[in-house]
Amino acid sequence: MHRFTLPRDIYHGKGALAVLKEFKGKRAIVCVGGGSMKKFGFLDRIMDYLKSAGMETALIEGIEPDPSVETVMHGAEKMIEFQPDWIVAVGGGSPIDAAKAMWIKYEYPETTFEDMCKVFGLPKLRTKARFCAVSSTSGTATEVTAFSVITDYAKGIKYPLADFEITPDVAIVDPELAETMPPKLVAHTGMDAMTHAVEAFVSTAHTAYTDPLAVFAVKMIRRDLVGSYQGDMEKRDSMHDAQCMAGMSFSNALLGIVHSMAHKTGAAFADFGAHIIHGAANAMYLPKVIAFNAKDPVALKRYGELADYMNLGGSSDQEKVQLLIAELRKMNDALNIPQCIKNYGADSLPCEKGFIPEEVFRERLHDIAANAVGDACTGSNPRKISVAEMEKLLLCCYYDTEVDF
C-alpha cells in the first residue's frame, strides 16, 4: 500500500498571503530567518494579517541557514512558553525546517533530537498547534513536504527528519515573496528543485500519483530556471509553482543518493570556513548519480523516459541518458554553478582551486561515504550502493571524472 499526503490547503498565486487574515485561533508564533522578509515588508504584513484575525502574536527570528539542533531547542522553549495554536513559518527551507522540528519538541517536550531522527517514527502532532508554511524561495518545497533537515554541528552532519506528521496543514505559495531572491539563491534553489523532481521520478517509491508532478516540474524548471536567474519575473513566478510540484512529488515518492551525498558533505568541511550549499551540491552530484544509477536497467529506462519528456532526442536509452546529463551540466554552466567539488569556491562560485583541499577530502572520504550510505534518502535510490562504491562516486564528484562502475 502507498500513501500520498499533502497539506490540506495550498493557497497559491499573487496575493495568497492575505489568507492569513482568515485563520482561526488565539495565538500564533511566526518563525523567520534573516532580514529579507522584514526588509521587503512581508514580515510586517504577516503579523498584521494574523492580528487582524484576532490572534496574539510572537516572533522567533534570526533562524540561520542550515539550522542547528541548538536553534531548534531554543525555539521550542519559546513555543512552550507562548503556547501558540498556530505556528507560521516564513522563508526558505531553513526557517520552515527549523520550525517543523520546534513543533515536534513543543508538542512533546520530552522528545530528544535522536527521537526526531527516527524515520517515520514521530508521535501524532496537532495536539497543541497547527502549522502553516509560507515559502519565499523556489526550491526546497518544504512548505508541502514531510521532511526537515537539521544540522548537528558537533558531528558536522545534516540529518533529514522524515514523517508525514510534519507535513504542514497549510502551504502559502505566493510568488511575490520569491521575486526578492538574489540570483545565486535562484540558481541553487532551482537546481535543488530539479534534483527533487528527477530523483522522485526514478525513486523505488514512485507511483502513478507522483510521476506527473515530477515530469511537469522538470519540464517547467528546464524552461524557466535560467530565465528566472537572469531576472525574468514571469519565469520567477513560474518557478515558484514548479518547485512546489517537485516537492509534492518527492514528499511522497522520496529521494535518492544525490540528497544523501549533499546532506553528508554540506557541513563536513565547515572548519575550512564554508559549507557546500545544498542546492549547489545537488547540482554538482546529480549528473554523476544519474551515470551511476543508469547502470541499473530499470533506472536506465526511467531516465530515458525523462529525456523523452524533455524532448532531448536520442535513439537509445544510453544515448538519452548522456543527453540528459549534458543538459543538466549545461544548466549548471548557465547558472554559474561549479561542476565539481574541486572547483567549488568558498563563495559557491566556480574557481580554479576550491576551498576544500584534496588531501582533506580524501582523509574524510570514508566517514562521509559511510554516513551517506546510512542517510534516510539512500533506501529509495534505484540502484543499491556500498560504502566502497560511494567513496568512488564521491571522488568522481570531487574531480569531475567519469562514472564507469
Say if residue 157's pLDDT is above 90. no
- Asked if 272 and 245 touch (Cβ cutoff 8 Å), the reply is no
Confidence at 158, pLDDT banded by 50, 70, 90: confident
Give the separation between CA 115 and CA 123, rounded to whole angstroms: 10
Task: Give tens-digit pLDDT for 133-156.
Answer: 999 999 999 999 999 999 999 988
Q: Which of 315, 313, 341, 316 is closest to 327 using CA atoms?
A: 313
pLDDT tens for each residue of 65-110? 989 999 999 999 999 999 999 999 999 999 999 999 999 999 999 9
What is the enclosing helix (H) or strand (E) of 326? helix 317-334
Phi, psi of 128 (to 5 degrees): -120, -35
pLDDT bin (cut points 50, 70, 90) of residue 31 is: very high
Q: State how far the Cα of 5 lies from the Cα of 3, in Å rounded to an integer.
A: 6
Look at residue 115 and give its three-state secondary structure. Answer: helix
| pLDDT tens, residue by residue, 10-21 | 999 999 999 999
- Kindly report the pTM of this predicted structure: 0.95
Tell me the average pLDDT across 245-266.
97
Q: What share of the chain has pLDDT > 70, as a percent? A: 100
Q: What is the 3-state secondary structure (H, E, C) of 74-103?
A: HHHHHHHHHCCCEEEEEECHHHHHHHHHHH
Region of 229 please: left (phi>0), alpha (psi -120 to 50) or beta: alpha
The pLDDT confidence band at residue 354, using thresholds 50, 70 and 90, is very high
Condensed to tens digits (0 to 9), the pLDDT of residues 267-292 reads: 999 999 999 999 999 999 999 999 99
Helix axes 183-202, 317-334, angle to 10 degrees: 160
Phi, then psi, of 376 in degrees rounded to 5:
-60, -25
Contact 381, 259 (CB under 8 A): no
pLDDT at residue 300 greater than cutoff 90: yes
Asked whether the predicted pLDDT for residue 35 surpasses 90, the reply is no
Task: Tally the residues of the chain.
Answer: 405
Nearest of 172, 120, 190 to residue 335 by alpha carbon? 190
pLDDT at 272: 96
Sign of the four-CA dihedral 332, 333, 335, 340: positive
